[in-house]
Amino acid sequence: MTTGQMEEWRFPSHYNQDYLPEKDQPYWFPHRETMDPQERDAAVLVRLREVMEYAYAHSGFYKNKWDQAGLKPADITSFEAFEQVPVVTKQELRESQAEHPPFGDYTCIDDAEIHHIHGTSGTTGMPTAFALGRRDWQVIADNQARILWGMGLRPGDTVFVAALFSLYLGSWGAMTAAERLGCKVLPFGAGAGGGMTARAVTWLARTKPRGFYATPSYALRLAEVAEAEKIDPREFGLEVMFFSGEPGASVPKVRDAIANAFGARVVDCGTMAEMTPFMSAAATQGTPDGMLLWQDIVWHEVCDPQTFRRVPYGDEGTPVYTHLERTSQPMIRLASGDLTRWTMEDNPCGRTYPRLPEGVYGRIDDMITIRGENVYPIEIDNFLRGLDGYGGEHQVVVTRTGSMDEMTVRAECRYPDGDRADFARAGREGLQTVLGIRVTFEPVDANSFTRAEHKSRRVDDQRGIARNA
């Protein structure tokens, strides 16, 4: 066993709150981040068993689920055995909370240990409540401080957290991590309308932060508002912009648009709110493309969406996540419903983690099937951002006449009405090439569509097909 060599590796986790690496050191925990991946995996396997023993002892949810599947934590002596553990779905979590309100019987800590309550927005169905323990809150901050260090942030940097502070965990996770790192945090929040984005511009110009966190949609919105006020977003002096909540930061053209507007490095990160420390998938300063899977914080498996067994490196699949350090509501094989592709190669930064070269690029249920072809909305976004004259927003409408599906893309165009023929042709032909289907393409005036203050919703599928929540 190599666990003795791994910095601060024990369960439940307790990190030394005074620890900080030397400022010029690229790694927070050099050994854990650069060790032989097979040795790391061996340590993780032991940890998976420990986490399962803990969950089995402290939660009716996991005990019942695993008893029904006829398995015991002690059986998990190989990753093949672990891949037999049935996945947890968000629907199961909702049902558990309905039966055992408010936090569900997968909550493993006493009520008195709960420190923060957060939740999903509930825009699709009943919201899920998150109960985060005092120790977990600290461990999350520590884990994510480690990952912010990898992105190149350092003590004393000002970090502007632009995302809304409410039920949404993203902003809180970014803030506590930056606090743990010894940064100056400006927790601005946003989405409150009433000129808050214009105020964000004022405060960015005034405080000149080095780090910035938001959703990609919000960053693009912010650049537009700054430009409308005749302020070049490059004057903010941002260097490291990290994003979660949407796939945009790994969509090449969205990424370029943000990087160019702000003159900053764009870093993608994020898994799911349930999985916080959600930054366990995150790029680094030395490996800026896609996201590394920090396998000693959360165990990431990219799986076949039917069998939930891991696919080989190089293949596409759906992420399945397991907490290695959480004790309040540990997720063990949570099915994400997302889509990605993973690889295992030498990373320029020296970390020995697998990587998602294109990030998490969609959800299984985001996929739109048009006349038998599978279309991911993100492909449309990426194409339009590279189209000359594109005004920055679009809408996708899917309809059915008889048995015939039709997709209409309405895209904002910066050129005046009489001058859009080239734009219309390039859009129509380009989308046909990228998507492999014929699309109705309609240029509309710039600023026709509302900008998202948080996450964008651009697809209106009017066919009335039942979709997963």
Considering only residues 28, 29, 62, 188, which one is a binding residue for a second copy as defined by CB under 8 A? Answer: 188
Does the footprint of a second copy cover residue 155 (CB under 8 A)?
yes
C-alpha to C-alpha distance for 5 and 21, rounded to whole angstroms: 17
State the DSSP H helix or E strand holding residue 380, giving kind and residue range, or none if neither: helix 377-385
- Alpha-carbon torsion 248, 352, 271, 70, what sign? positive
C-alpha to C-alpha distance for 410 and 75, rounded to whole angstroms: 54
Applying CB under 8 A, the span of 15-23, 125-133, 308-316, 405-413 interacting with a second copy comes to: 125-133
Does the footprint of a second copy cover residue 125 (CB under 8 A)?
no
As given in the structure block, the two tokens for residue 449 are 């569509």
Sheet with strand 355-356: strands edge to edge? 281-282, 291-293, 355-356
Does the footprint of a second copy cover residue 312 (CB under 8 A)?
no
Counting every residue, how long is the chain? 469
**Is 43 or 190 the residue whose CB approaches a second copy more closely?**
190
* 3-state class (DSSP) for residue 328: coil
**Is 214 or 254 the residue whose CB approaches a second copy more closely?**
214
Does the footprint of a second copy cover residue 14 (CB under 8 A)?
no
Count of CB atoms situated within 10 Å of the CB of 35: 18
State the DSSP H helix or E strand holding residue 55, giving kind and residue range, or none if neither: helix 37-58
C-alpha to C-alpha distance for 160 and 184, rounded to whole angstroms: 9
387 within 8 A of 414, measured Cβ to Cβ:
no
Q: Which of 47, 54, 6 is nearest to 28 (CA)?
A: 6
The string of DSSP letters for 124-159 reads: SSSPPEEEEEHHHHHHHHHHHHHHHHHHT--TT-EE
Q: Which of 457, 276, 327 is nearest to 381 (CA)?
A: 457
Applying CB under 8 A, the span of 18-26, 73-81, 118-126, 435-443 interacting with a second copy comes to: 118-126
**Is 167 or 434 the residue whose CB approaches a second copy more closely?**
167
Does the footprint of a second copy cover residue 119 (CB under 8 A)?
yes
State the DSSP H helix or E strand holding residue 432, giving kind and residue range, or none if neither: helix 421-435
What value, to the nearest 5°, has the Cα angle with vertex 353 and ends 349 and 356?
A: 95
Considering only residues 31, 116, 234, 428, which one is a binding residue for a second copy as defined by CB under 8 A? Answer: 116
**Is 55 or 163 the residue whose CB approaches a second copy more closely?**
163
Considering only residues 191, 290, 319, 443, which one is a binding residue for a second copy as defined by CB under 8 A? Answer: 191
Does the footprint of a second copy cover residue 111 (CB under 8 A)?
yes
**Is 114 or 283 the residue whose CB approaches a second copy more closely?**
114
C-alpha to C-alpha distance for 238 and 204, rounded to whole angstroms: 9
As measured in angstroms, the least distance from the Cβ of 103 to a second copy is 9
Does the footprint of a second copy cover residue 166 (CB under 8 A)?
yes
Applying CB under 8 A, the span of 120-128, 221-229, 321-329, 349-357 interacting with a second copy comes to: 120-128
Applying CB under 8 A, the span of 19-27, 138-146, 178-186, 268-276 interacting with a second copy comes to: 178-186
Considering only residues 172, 212, 218, 423, which one is a binding residue for a second copy as defined by CB under 8 A? Answer: 172
C-alpha to C-alpha distance for 162 and 260, rounded to whole angstroms: 19
377 within 8 A of 441, measured Cβ to Cβ:
no
Does the footprint of a second copy cover residue 285 (CB under 8 A)?
no
Q: Which of 360, 364, 379 is nearest to 432 (CA)?
A: 379
As measured in angstroms, the least distance from the Cβ of 284 to a second copy is 24
As measured in angstroms, the least distance from the Cβ of 140 to a second copy is 14
Quick note: the x/- pattern for a second copy over 207-226, rule CB under 8 A, is x-------------------
As measured in angstroms, the least distance from the Cβ of 417 to a second copy is 31
C-alpha to C-alpha distance for 253 and 235, rounded to whole angstroms: 22
Applying CB under 8 A, the span of 16-24, 81-89, 189-197, 220-228 interacting with a second copy comes to: 189-197
Does the footprint of a second copy cover residue 408 (CB under 8 A)?
no
Does the footprint of a second copy cover residue 350 (CB under 8 A)?
no
Considering only residues 164, 219, 360, 396, which one is a binding residue for a second copy as defined by CB under 8 A? Answer: 164
Q: How far from 211 is each of 118, 162, 199, 455, CA to CA, in Å?
A: 24, 11, 18, 20
Applying CB under 8 A, the span of 19-27, 138-146, 161-169, 385-393 interacting with a second copy comes to: 161-169
Applying CB under 8 A, the span of 27-35, 44-52, 150-158, 381-389 interacting with a second copy comes to: 150-158
SS3 content of the chain, % helix, strand, coil (to 5): 35, 20, 40
Applying CB under 8 A, the span of 32-40, 195-203, 410-418, 424-432 interacting with a second copy comes to: 195-203
Does the footprint of a second copy cover residue 21 (CB under 8 A)?
no
Does the footprint of a second copy cover residue 193 (CB under 8 A)?
yes
- Return the axis-axis angle of helices 90-99 and 60-69, rounded to nearest 10°: 120
Does the footprint of a second copy cover residue 57 (CB under 8 A)?
no
List phi, psi (to 5°) of 98.
-65, -35
Residues forming the site for a second copy (CB under 8 A): 101-102, 111-112, 114-119, 121-122, 127, 129, 131, 155-156, 158, 164-167, 172, 179, 182, 184-194, 196, 199, 202-203, 206-207
